[in-house]
Amino acid sequence: MTTTQRTPERVAVVTGGSGGIGGAVARRLAAAGTAVVVHYSGGRARADEVVERITAEGGTAVAARADLADADEAAALFAAAEEHFGGVDVVVNTAGIMLLAPLAEMDLDDFDRMHRINVRGTFVVSRLAARTLRPGGALINFSTSVTRLQQPTYAAYAATKGAVEAMTLILARELRGRDITVNAVAPGPTATPLFLDGKSEQTVERLAAAAPLERLGTPDDIAETVAFLAGPGRWINGQVLYANGGIA
């Protein structure tokens, strides 16, 4: 559902838009006047809530489901953006999962599941973005600050995000002459329900104290970074931005 029938100036597809960070990104882009396709995989109710909040605040949004690792379903997601809003200018790829275990104990089925969603899913969406983004567009993939923190139990997850960084930086060079920026955002510890689930108060306090700003990030912090890359940050291209409050 949308609040208006006019053709928006810019259109964004936000994968994982039903999640904590994805929902904040969708709302922030909508607040800037961008029409948003809020992608979800299994969280239809949460995606609808994001859409309802956007429309209640005067924005324009629609929810759409897809298995992003399935090329046909992902293509249908982009087709929905074309059908509803006439094209795509911004793609924000927040969809991903994190399964933790020491490398020697990591279940290979869990590793394959992360690889399918985090790596293959990002690759499929990035390929579609490269083919469909209009001039002046932006692709923003998601990595993690863990790729340079070397924290135990994160090896498999960090490996998938290292792959995301590699494809992102190369794609930025491959799109020379298209006036399309390609970057990755690498959040640090961010206070989402998924991040906080299962962590003790002491663990949360320790993680919050790690940054010089002495707090956890918020989904809105990450959304502001994305909004900059999606809008005024046109001279930033082929980079990984660590949005983590200064964690080394």
N- to C-terminal Cα separation, the chain? 43
Q: Which two tokens stand for residue 48?
A: 């609808």
Question: Among 40, 154, 157, 242, which one carries the catalytic annotation?
Answer: 157
**Across the chain, how many H-helices and E-strands are there?**
9, 7
Strand arrangement, sheet containing 181-187: 61-65, 35-40, 11-15, 90-93, 138-142, 181-187, 240-243
157 is catalytic: yes
The alpha carbons of the chain give a radius of gyration, in whole angstroms, of: 17
Contacts from 40-43 at CB under 8 Å and sequence distance 24+?
40/16, 40/64, 40/65, 41/16, 41/65, 41/66, 41/67, 41/68, 41/95, 43/18, 43/19
Phi, psi of 91 (to 5 degrees): -125, 125
Q: Which amino acid is at 36?
A: V
Catalytic positions: 157
